[in-house]
Amino acid sequence: MTNAEIHPQHQRLAARLKALRQAAGLSAAALGQPFGWSQSKTSKMENGQSALVIADIERWLDAVRADDDERTEVLSLARETGTRVRPWRNSDRPDGATQQQARGHRDAETSGIGVYQSEVVPGLLQTPDYARRLLEVHSLLPADEIPAAVLARLNRQTVLFDESKQFDLVITETALRWRPGPLSVTFAQLDRIALLAGQPNVRIGVLSRETQERCEARPLHSFVLLRYADAPATVEIETLTAEQEVTEPADVALYEQFLHEQQELAEHGPALLALLDHIREDLRHRQAATNDG
């Protein structure tokens, strides 16, 4: 993660923690030792490279013997930083390809990724044509940045074949039926999902329309849940104009619970493949009916 990708509020909090450690005369290793932290964790916290959670910040303030005023000020800033928003139009924001490359490095650092997608196919599963069409109609990227952004997005997908990581993806049938272009693009995308569902470390579930209509599956915005072996999990939510990051553990836990609930309701294995075939045939019949009309 580059400095341009770290929210200024997060940067200020991280810098304040570093200043307190230095004022207390503690090295990064010495500060984290009583809590079993690695030097790497301490360094990432004070450089803004990892999520900052309240419990860890309270331990940090204990270690540096912060006074009451310092504790109040730092904890107040930490609570405000628990949910951060990064506008896409930031003047110092990198181009589309660089953003995707940074996410690829982020993905590689995780122990696993959870995705809930209610509108479109998740980026980790997209075919080249689908990714290109999606960026053309649903992003603020300039047209000349799209080819490089598509290539970088496809390169990110290699992480799916790292079997040390677990991927849990839930997609609604409505998202699968969204057509970004010719029917052939949608059919190729359905084939891609069926193929990747066979990966031992990739669990893809699709919420059928029937399940959604029975109100068993609660509606919610799409999100990505990033899990780490040595750091707290975080949640990322994309809107048309910004990216929101949720780091407070209690809030992240709600997203974990929601994703688990949706996986339990989704179709997997043979039932998933049957549903994909049903969607394919239904779209083909609809297309034929339109042509006849």
The dotted CATH code for 87-292 is: 3.30.870
Written out in words, the top-level CATH class of the domain with range 3-81 is mainly alpha
Q: What is the pLDDT along the chain (293 residues), one digit of tens a residue?
A: 444 455 566 778 888 899 999 999 999 999 999 988 888 888 888 887 776 677 788 899 999 999 988 888 888 777 766 556 566 565 445 567 877 888 888 898 899 999 999 999 999 999 999 999 999 987 778 899 899 999 999 999 999 999 999 999 999 999 999 988 899 999 999 999 999 999 999 999 999 999 988 866 677 899 999 998 877 888 999 876 777 888 888 889 999 999 999 999 999 999 999 999 999 999 998 888 777 65
Structural domain spans, the chain: 3-81, 87-292
153 contact partners, CB below 8 Å, separation of at least 6: 100, 123, 126, 131
Q: Which is it for the CA torsion 290, 291, 292, 293, positive or negative?
A: positive
Per-residue pLDDT, 273: 97
Question: Residue holding tokens 């997060």?
Answer: 10
Pairing of strands 242-246, 166-172: unpaired
- CA–CA distance from 272 to each of 89, 167, 268, 276, 278 (Å)? 38, 16, 5, 6, 10
- Angle formed at CA 205 by CA 231 and CA 109, multiple of 5 degrees: 25
C-alpha distances in Å from residue 194, one per residue of 156, 249, 269, 275: 19, 33, 9, 10
Which three-class secondary structure state does DSSP give residue 180?
coil
